[in-house]
Amino acid sequence: MPSPFPGFDPYLEDERFWHDFHQRFIAYSAEALSAIVPKRYRIRIEERATVIALGGEPKRVFEPDILVVGRKENQTKTQRQIASVATVDEEQQPDPAIIIEALIDEEFGESFIAIVDRTGQKLVTVIELLSPTDKRQGEWRRQYLEKQQIYLESRVNLVEIDLLRQGEHAVAAPKFVLEKFKPFYGIISVWRAAIPYRFEVYPVKLHERLPRIAVPLLPEDKDVVLDIQRVFDRCYDAADYALDIDYTQPPPVPLTDEEQAWLDNWLKGKGLREKRNE
């Protein structure tokens, strides 16, 4: 069953759905790009992992191999100790060991797309789908903005897809520049290393189709076009989100009065709000 919305579905900002949607979006976008970029490039899904203590703030971040030389050791001393307890021979210790939950480290991964020049083994373009953690005040947001600055200073084309209403402004395009595009629900920002003083932005509005965006490669190659709506539709259909979302309930994020009125009328027209509104 397709999404009832013409563009982005705000109900997917619910934490029950977002991580799954994020992973699918990155995978399907990479697949779509692989079919259209010149063969001199390879499309790779990379993952940035943040290790945290359960219920705590991020402790450290592991960057993908393509951005740094080598990979840091992923297992902390605490994890190694826990592993040794967990692998005790059953004859020696038949009862399970009790581990205090606060000592367990959890790895939180976020995927993104890296477009690499095969010839020079150079990272050319990064495509990020922003998550709520990237826009949340605190250590998560600080880490995302630091990573963003590294991309800009390294002259890597940066495509940031922010479909979220929640959180603070985080894309590289300056906030004050985006004022003239308001009101919008989300924003897509494209920064080209070859034209560092310019940002290309695509406002995202609930009542409109998600845009087709130009993805830059090396200056001598033409852009390729990524159809965000087609990727979104594939994610929604493959996951059958319609079977899990209750559209009679309000969305999990605040809307403007105009957006709320439009959403109510739209869902009512789709037969998803009749019992609630009448």
Instruction: Please give the pLDDT value at position 165.
Output: 94
Residue whose structure tokens are 């949340």: 136
> Half-sphere exposure (CA, 13 Å, Cβ side) for 238?
13
**Alpha carbon distance 28, 83 (integer Å):** 35
- CA 24, distance to chain mean position in Å, is 10
**Alpha carbon distance 99, 86 (integer Å):** 9
Query: Could you tell me whether strands 199-204 and 212-215 are parallel, antiparallel, or unpaired per DSSP bridges?
Result: unpaired
Instruction: Please give the pLDDT value at position 136.
Output: 86
Q: What is the pTM of this model?
A: 0.80
Furthest CA-CA distance within the chain: 70
pLDDT means per 10 residues, the chain with 278 residues, are: 94 96 97 97 83 47 41 39 36 46 50 94 96 87 91 95 95 91 93 94 96 97 97 98 96 95 96 64
Return the closest-CA partner of residue 62 out of 115, 97, 108: 108
Instruction: Please give the pLDDT value at position 67.
Output: 44
Which tokens belong to 70? 């080598």
Instruction: Please give the pLDDT value at position 137.
Output: 80
Domain range summary for the chain, segments of one domain joined by +: 10-88+97-277
**Under a CB-based contact definition with an 8 Å cutoff, are residues 131 and 22 in contact?**
yes
Instruction: Please give the pLDDT value at position 1.
Output: 79
**Alpha carbon distance 102, 108 (integer Å):** 16
**Under a CB-based contact definition with an 8 Å cutoff, are residues 236 and 7 in contact?**
no
